[in-house]
Amino acid sequence: MLTSAVRHGTGIADCGRPAAGVAAAWLAAGLTAKLGYVALVALALGGCASGSSQMGGKPSLGTTPSARVATYGERIPKGGGTVKVGAPYSIEGRWYVPRDEPGYDRVGVASWYGLDFHGRKTANGEIYDMDALSAAHPTLPLPSYAYVTNTANGRTILVRINDRGPYAKDRIIDLSQASARALGFDRQGLTDVRVRYAGPAPLDGDDRHERQFLAQQSQPPMNVARAARPEPRGDVTAALPSGLAWRR
């Protein structure tokens, strides 16, 4: 898998991003997002873990990056996308089947992506904001909510899934930089997480639920280790839209 595992000033960015070698499959599946930064991505081979990078070489297939519609510092509009599930698609020989999966509950590795994709279109037509509590997932409906728990420190957040990815090794979710920071692993690049589907998210991009849920959690400083808590604190249901509830 070709990935970008390059350290930038903002931290380890774009771990598990697809390169030009898989762009054709993305386009065939209607996954027009996250094709940016292809020139450098096409040079990176392997994954990123704990800030390391492995550089290799493979020629680009000539895919152009998705257009950046907003630069960092500009206001990123919320919402603006469409409800999307999508057809099955294949990335480097592995098939993914997007579907509504109310009982989705998985444990695996999370990565995060940041400035390189900030201001570019997501897979459902929204604009990626590295400062929003959002995420990319290979198969869950877009847009939707999911609880993500960092199993190393017990922190849990509610994220808006509005993009596709990651496709590297055993990674199951790709988080925004803000989400990685809230979970306390933005300086690492990767962490083990538990991901639980929480239901559909509104098309208008209203992020009050994510922000309110985060505010209810009692978090330690980002550089302080803490034993895992089994559940979030506070009245978690108050932060959720009607029809959604905390699920153990």
- In this structure, what is the dihedral angle of CA atoms 168, 13, 31, 103, given to the nearest 10 degrees? 60
Q: Do 181 and 13 form a contact (C-beta atoms < 8 A)?
A: no
Residues 86 and 98: their CA atoms lie apart, in Å, by 6
3-state secondary structure 222-243: CCCCCCCCCCCCCCHHHHCCCC
Whether 185 shows a pLDDT value over 80: the answer reads: yes
pLDDT for the residue 147: 98
Whether 123 shows a pLDDT value over 50: the answer reads: yes
Q: Do 164 and 179 form a contact (C-beta atoms < 8 A)?
A: no
User: Token pair of 13, please?
Assistant: 């960015």
Residues 213 and 25: their CA atoms lie apart, in Å, by 36
pLDDT for the residue 67: 81
Q: Where are any strands of DSSP class E within 45-113?
A: 89-91, 94-96, 105-113
What is 7-57+100-230's CATH superfamily? Answer: RlpA-like domain (2.40.40.10)
Q: Could you give the maximum distance between any two Cα atoms of the chain, in Å?
A: 52
Least reliable range by pLDDT among 110-114, 145-149, 166-170, 219-223: 219-223
pLDDT for the residue 168: 85
Amino acid identity of residue 49, one-letter, is: A
pTM assigned to the model: 0.69
Rounded to the nearest angstrom, the gap between the alpha carbon of residue 190 and the centroid of all alpha carbons in its chain is 12
Domain residue extents for the chain: 7-57+100-230
